[in-house]
A and B are shown apart, each in its own frame.
Chain A
């Protein structure tokens, strides 16, 4: 099982450029989310999705867009990159629904993004 796969692992962008961070999971999980990890600030939720066609904002959504056209994929788009978006980005997925709410979140290996 591949689990949660993120691509790319590393990326350098110039200020103002746009790009998409890819996330795919093969566990048929309904819930998927994006976090950014910055020193001293832990993991902060950017956007999340409870199923295909449904997305919602987390704690720090500004400057990012998401979509969820399939259960497997949850890409994160940076519309116009800024140096403040330099961070490590993690995608996670978990099984959700009914009595199985609040189950283990599986994380990808992360994407280290630098905006210059």
Chain B
């Protein structure tokens, strides 16, 4: 069945450093790859997404890259700040469906 693996499960970085979270998906038909940020006590919120016809997308300090051949995609956060501390989830979805399959999450801690 469809599966999304996410690594690492926890990540600690110093403020100002970069953070990278990686995900691998199993369904080669997947074509939509969003990333969600979940702050303590809240529901997940979309921060960036990428579709299979694009290799990279950037939004200020956040970027996502996609390698369709290897079936993996990554989230890159540069110049990390304490407010970036949260749990991040990757997800994948097939065309013609809104059903999202999520990774297991990465707890990012940014130390001042």
Contacts and interface: CB of A to CB of B under 8 A. Distances in A.
Q: Is the interface of B mostly helix, strand, loop or mixed?
A: loop
Contacts of B9: 40
A43 B96 contact: no
Contacts of A44: 102
Interface stretch (B11-19, B39-47, B54-62, B67-75): B39-47
A70 to B, nearest CB: 18
Given A40-B104, A104-B49, A105-B34, A94 B98 contact: yes
Given A48-B99, A50-B98, A94-B98, A102 B44 contact: no
Contacts of A103: 98
A13 to B, nearest CB: 21
Given A42-B105, A45-B100, A102-B51, A107 B95 contact: no
B78 interface: no
A82 B9 CA distance: 28
B108 to A, nearest CB: 15
A42 B99 contact: no
Nearest to B4: A42
B103 A42 contact: yes
Contacts, number: 65
A109 B41 CA distance: 7
Nearest to B9: A40
Contacts of B46: 104-105
A33 interface: yes
A107 B64 CA distance: 21
Contacts of B95: 101-102
A12 interface: no
A43 B42 CA distance: 13
Nearest to B32: A102
A22 interface: no
A102 B31 contact: yes
B89 A42 contact: yes
Interface of A: 4, 31, 33, 35, 40-45, 48, 50, 58-59, 90, 92, 94, 96, 101-105, 107-110
